Structure 1
């Protein structure tokens, strides 16, 4: 059910967001404790502000009222993906090239399942990450999760 709601929201939100200069980063519909949350993560060049979140929330709320795909009570949250934004779509990885990333894999690659380092190369098949002085070529189909990483 949650995958269906995610898909419905992505379908109607993507066009509107793109037309208004926003990027749909992710949609989550999750239960935490006894509460359901519909979270929409959005970004744009220069970042989003509270007014942007308000406009997007109003649009999404009105569209959800019209379509009525959710039978449970839920909280709608619209926000930026933050500094450690997830990398999911192919273009996310291309934009992250040259930045520090944190990648986890489904199975070990050269005995490691976690890689934090500079994303030096992105192809359709592999991601190359430099950790210290060593480079790792990670097959895309082995990536369990990826996000930008903050370096302190």
Structure 2
């Protein structure tokens, strides 16, 4: 997808997504055989439920039908939320990932797996899980020390109510 088309689509769709109380996270146009697929990823601080996804999908579809942003050919519109192991690229992504386990690629090299406790303008307060009976340790990461960050899926984590019991 050309930068120009990407920018045009973002300019066209972002206000509609915002009016639904969501953030436009990603736009991608892919060719699948002779068909094109427009994938739109949306999210919010509280997540997005199926009703919100359906509402924004209808609004985007109507807007795209009344413009020539996708050109003349057929395309399929797919609207969804970021995956479970989403990459964190914006400050708001880190805020939304508070209390989640994240794998960090550090700019100095190496990696760190830690739970985000707090995200502010300066960086992140994280908790590095203890290993082999050791207690977890607290650490502060400046954003400039993070090259890449991705949320990790946790299958065995107890929720706070279970931990307090």
Q: Given the two structures, how large is their TM-score scaled by the length of structure 2? A: 0.65
Hey, what does 1:52 align to over in structure 2? 52
* Cα gap change, 1:69 to 1:18, in 2 (>3 Å): closer
In structure 2, runs of 5+ residues without a counterpart are 130-135, 156-165
Q: Secondary structure, in 3 states, of the residue corresponding to 2:9?
A: helix
1:68 Cα deviation from its structure 2 partner: 1.8
Residues 102-142 of structure 1, C-alpha deviations (whole Å, 9 max, x = no match): 3334551xxx1x33220134233433433324555444245
- Provide the rounded CA distance (Å) in 2 between the counterparts of 1:106 and 1:37: 35
* Cα gap change, 1:47 to 1:127, in 2 (>3 Å): same
- Provide the rounded CA distance (Å) in 1 between the counterparts of 2:47 and 2:121: 28
Between Structure 1 and Structure 2, the one with more strand by share is: 1
In structure 1, runs of 5+ residues without a counterpart are none
- Provide the rounded CA distance (Å) in 2 between the counterparts of 1:75 and 1:60: 12
Residue pairs, 1:131-142, within 5 angstroms: 131-132=128-129, 133-135=136-138, 137-142=140-145
Equivalent of residue 147 in structure 1, options 128, 134, 150: 150
* Cα gap change, 1:32 to 1:66, in 2 (>3 Å): closer
Residues 39-77 of structure 1, C-alpha deviations (whole Å, 9 max, x = no match): 11223536311x433332222223223332334654321
Q: Secondary structure, in 3 states, of the residue corresponding to 2:70?
A: coil
Hey, what does 1:29 align to over in structure 2? 28
Q: Secondary structure, in 3 states, of the residue corresponding to 1:67?
A: coil
RMSD (Å), alpha carbons:
3.1
Whether contact under 8 Å (2:20, 2:52) holds in the other structure is: no
Q: Secondary structure, in 3 states, of the residue corresponding to 2:66?
A: helix
Hey, what does 1:40 align to over in structure 2? 40
Residue pairs, 1:104-115, within 5 angstroms: 104-108=105-109, 112=110, 114-115=111-112
